[in-house]
Structure 1
Amino acid sequence: MSLPAGVTITLPIPSGAEKILTPEAVQFLTVLHRTFDKRRLQLLENRKKVQAELDKGKPLNFLPETANIRAEASWACAPPAPGLEDRRVEITGPTDRKMVINALNSGAKTFMADFEDSNSPTWDNMVLGQVNLYDAVRNQIDSVIGGKEYKLKPKHAVLLVRPRGWHLEETRFLVDGAPMSGGLFDFGLYFFHNAKEAIARGFGPYFYLPKMEHHLEARLWNDAFNLATSYIGAPQGCIRGTVLIETLPAAFQMEEILYELREHSSGLNCGRWDYIFSFIKRQRALRSAVFPDRTDVTMTVPFMSAYVSLLVQTCHKRKVAAMGGMSAQIPIKNDPKANDAVMDKVRADKLREVTAGHDGTWVAHPALVPIAMAIFDEHMKGPNQYFVRREEVSVTAKQIADPKVPGQVTDVGVRENVSAALSYCAAWISGNGCVPINNLMEDAATAEIARVQLWQWVKYGSKTSSGKQITPAYLKPIFAEESAKVASIKGISADHVRISSDYMLAQVQAQWPSEFLTSDLQGHLAGGSVVRKAGL
């Protein structure tokens, strides 16, 4: 293929992906990169400035310069787009072909095809995932996989796509010597090939937008949407984006984020696991923000409850969906009693969400769809709950950032974090970003919680409930024992386990934890590392 001037693709195009990485699509990606990458990098630098201020003791707060946006009652977001009026149960998962078919057939209202946290960004995964979505949009994805036939049902879930966050880069696609934004790469390829086809079929180009920390990051997405629709001649406003509020700084800018995307907004989502990770990471300099075991950090602890209440109130004030968070449980085979107990937890979680005013929820496994659907069908009679205004809610900055969580650090909790971090990272390097661990479907977010919890327990000299101080010396034999277990798992190499163990042990001893393990480990994927030109 003849590439535009300045473009380099460092790995071969996978067989079957020629219809995705076409000269026209590559040219469109180049325009997106050259238009927006400088702003993206500036916004990432701003995150570092915010963190430096937090480390010096400056607390996060609602922005005084945008008070007028929050106070103005007259503005609202766009009405629900076709197929997004009722989102009571959404299923999520990576873009593997079998996964896409099963998720679309699951009975959920929508399926979020994920290029981000439940996906390992190997070159094949990223590009062949686009092939799978291209075929799904056109109802031509029926396949025989492993000798079994998979057929798309005539009536299936509406497709949404989650591109990578602003911090991740597509290191196999270089423009003028610099890697392209992973998010713009994922968005650009899907939009270029599928926007008009989706509209013709009665829905549209719909997205989930992850990991944002500032409303100007939402403005960048909005500007990219406007350029993209103009570029291909699609109707302005055809795009919809649901923003995951999964960072602590974004919780203080919910209305501003909606305002920036208002023509393209389809609401906000409580990205609970990444939110906990961000809460710890951004308040890393606070000894008071040291949490107990991850299992104690539930949706009912004060800071999580405040976040949920504010999100529902904000979305309904602006007439868009307030989506609940993920139930990551998966069925427990051959143990009906244990399975019933887990499913009861799912029911309780979904009941909490629907009674809080959420308009829908997430599940990770098709078996959870009917359970969540039954709860929402019983308690939400219309397509949504925009009429639940939650006007009694008055959430303060102190409540959002309150780190008080009752509970203890236990020896079991430490070991579970080590196991989860090692299992996930090793699987991720091996090409699998969605991993069943202890009857939960884990993705990068839960591995990130494990990583920063281990770090803060070492940093601040935490002791387990049995009296053992958590030090590198205490952790090293646990890492060795858990590494041996993980290395015995089919599909995970001992070398990848070693890389993961070395990485995690270095992280727990660092002055500060790094921003994202996915950025740190990307160099271990084929073609995953790149040297930027000077000044880039």
Structure 2
Amino acid sequence: MPTTTLAHRVRVLAAPGDRHDEILTPGALDFVGSLVAAFGERRRELLKERRRQSLRTAAGSPLDFPIVTSAVRADPSWRVAPAAPGLTDRRVEITGPPDRRMAVNALNSGARVWMADFEDATAPTWDNIIDGQLTLLDAIERRIDFTTEDGREYRLADRDRLATIVVRPRGWHLTEDHLEFDGGPVPAALVDFGLYFFHCARRQIDAGHGPYFYLPKLENRYEARLWNDVFVTAQDLLGIPRGTVRATVLIETITAAFEMEEILYELREHSSGLNAGRWDYLFSLIKTLGHRTDFLLPDRANVTMTAPFMRAYTELLVRTCHKRGAHAIGGMAAQVPSKDPEAHETALAKVRMDKEREAEDGFDGSWVAHPGLVPVCREVFDGVLGERPHQVDRTRDDVDVRAADLLSVRRIGGPPTPEGVRTNIAVSLRYFAAWMRGQGAVALYGLMEDAATAEIARVQIWQWLRHRVIDRLSVLDLLEQELAALGAEYPWANLDEVRGLFERTALSGELPLFFTPDAYARHLVRHAEPRS
């Protein structure tokens, strides 16, 4: 596979691992380096613009649909590319980290799509990142079957019964500190995308699908344009026809909600739709507007999808996608099936109600976090879609969403409850402990928690403290209680490190935009002697 020869090659700063040389080949590293050389500076400028936009919003600049792109929104002629092979019917999608057990279970689950998640569901230890790439390569090559020490067998089903693989790389804001280019760390998004694309794009095409992606944390059309340019360059470098890549964008930031059509437009030859990333969307709302009292949210369990501002967000997403011939994919059901029959039925009832709302609103499919939820999600969408692969022809012309509708948070209310405060602290601490140990998806209190839900938990504590709707001394007391409980449950946890992370990200005067960059640098980066 041809790549550009670089004057400054990518260097690996981590210790060698089992089979890592199959992924970190000279050609693959040069390919990643080509992408960094072409797009690294643009990424840095866009991250600076994120900070400038954040300051403008904090200073009172209103959020609204951009006037300068009104012509794009008004032009009825453009549409995104037709659905790619394996992405025509997406009625059930399952998400999870790209480890071997999850890969087999997800691909065999009966879902139409598996989103292999290098972002929210993966703690980015070096081994997790490279082993995840090996998992995807082995799954495509059908050499992933294995037997556990206790005799349980994991085997892929026939190819025509497997879910389509879609990869979610890490966001633009993150770096991969185990790789160095021109004296600095490599953008994590380009590592995850580049390694997978280099090794698997052609293999996926030969298998009848293609290199497909979910794009996280985008905040505006310019970040979508950057991804589109990355796709064009990557395809050109490897001699793959333009338009082979397909990408679904997660609308999970409040600023991106105002630029849905523009994001589709920027990616149109590579677009496969939008997804309602609702957990990160709530997190984004708090970190963007949480300094204002009119954006004070109650317990996250009480912020349902029927809240007016969430209804506006999801209905606008469906209308936008279908107007442009794109799939609209619903949010994740995070429930974990329980061994207790009553709790299990309660969880399934919640999932069913959620998916019925989405299917009736016009979504073409939705997410689940556990294989046990695939049947109920499939049953709901089967009932609405029947034999049709989607309902893109349902244009939802009845939907008319204004800026005020997306920002109508004050219509919901209610102070945080003592149970909600304790739960947010408990979830934050337990997730932080697991994440620092290398586990990115954690079942807690009947829900599958990942980085997105942990972010909501910690920023809600920050917001409630800022507006003095909870008492700081009470929070500190609950913190000590939950740390003690954590130590009893997880004897391996480093309580001082967990406490420090919580204090820095939830109790500080200024809110860190993400917990992951600081925690990654402090706890997950493990450098070895540099090697070429």
TM value normalised by structure 1: 0.95
**Equivalent residue, structure 2, for 1:494:** 493
Q: Verify the 8 A CA contact 1:364 1:441 in the aligned structure 2.
A: yes
Answering whether residue 126 of structure 2 is matched by residue 119 of structure 1, we say no
Question: Aligned pair count?
Answer: 519
**Equivalent residue, structure 1, for 2:99:** 96
**SS of equivalent to 2:275:** strand
Q: Please give the alpha-carbon distance, in whole angstroms, between the structure 2 residues aligned to 1:251 and 1:501.
A: 34
Query: What residue ranges of structure 1 are gaps of 5+ in the alignment?
Result: 463-469, 531-536
**SS of equivalent to 2:22:** coil
**Equivalent residue, structure 1, for 2:518:** 520
**Equivalent residue, structure 2, for 1:238:** 244
Q: Please give the alpha-carbon distance, in whole angstroms, between the structure 1 residues aligned to 2:423 and 2:310.
A: 22
Q: Verify the 8 A CA contact 1:430 1:493 in the aligned structure 2.
A: no
**Equivalent residue, structure 1, for 2:453:** 446
Q: Residues 417-473 of structure 1: CA distance to partner in whole angstroms, max 9, x if unpaired?
A: 0001101111100100000000100001111111111001110110xxxxxxx2321
Structure 1 position 487, deviation (Å):
2.2
**Equivalent residue, structure 2, for 1:408:** 415
Q: Please give the alpha-carbon distance, in whole angstroms, between the structure 2 residues aligned to 1:517 and 1:326.
A: 21
**SS of equivalent to 1:370:** helix
**Equivalent residue, structure 1, for 2:88:** 85
**Equivalent residue, structure 1, for 2:31:** 28
Q: Residues 101-128 of structure 1: CA distance to partner in whole angstroms, max 9, x if unpaired?
A: 1100001001000100010000000001
Select the residue among 292, 295, 300 that pairs with 2:301: 295
Counting only pairs closer than 5 Å after superposition, residues 284-433 of structure 1 correspond to structure 2 as 284-333=290-339, 335-381=340-386, 382-404=388-410, 405-433=412-440
**SS of equivalent to 1:90:** strand
CA RMSD of aligned residues (A): 1.5
Structure 1 position 4, deviation (Å):
7.1
Structure 1 position 327, deviation (Å):
0.1
Q: Verify the 8 A CA contact 1:4 1:26 in the aligned structure 2.
A: no
Structure 1 position 12, deviation (Å):
1.8
Select the residue among 505, 508, 511 that pairs with 2:509: 511
Q: Please give the alpha-carbon distance, in whole angstroms, between the structure 1 residues aligned to 2:456 and 2:42.
A: 29
Structure 1 position 502, deviation (Å):
2.0
**Equivalent residue, structure 2, for 1:460:** 467
Structure 1 position 148, deviation (Å):
2.2
Q: Please give the alpha-carbon distance, in whole angstroms, between the structure 1 residues aligned to 2:524 and 2:291.
A: 35
**Equivalent residue, structure 2, for 1:534:** none
Q: Please give the alpha-carbon distance, in whole angstroms, between the structure 1 residues aligned to 2:94 and 2:517.
A: 26
- Give the letter for the 1:409 counterpart: P
Structure 1 position 529, deviation (Å):
8.6
**Amino-acid identity (%):** 48
**Equivalent residue, structure 2, for 1:201:** 207
- Give the letter for the 2:223 counterpart: E
- Give the letter for the 1:370 counterpart: P
Q: Please give the alpha-carbon distance, in whole angstroms, between the structure 2 residues aligned to 1:10 and 1:472.
A: 42
Q: Please give the alpha-carbon distance, in whole angstroms, between the structure 2 residues aligned to 1:65 and 1:362.
A: 34
Change (3 A) 1:407 1:472: closer
Structure 1 position 6, deviation (Å):
4.3
Select the residue among 107, 110, 130 that pairs with 1:107: 110
Query: What residue ranges of structure 2 are gaps of 5+ in the alignment?
Result: none
Q: Please give the alpha-carbon distance, in whole angstroms, between the structure 1 residues aligned to 2:94 and 2:7.
A: 38
Runs (4 or more) in structure 1 with deviation over 6 Å come to none
**SS of equivalent to 1:32:** helix
Structure 1 position 527, deviation (Å):
2.4
Q: Verify the 8 A CA contact 1:476 1:505 in the aligned structure 2.
A: no
**Equivalent residue, structure 2, for 1:42:** 45
- Give the letter for the 1:505 counterpart: E
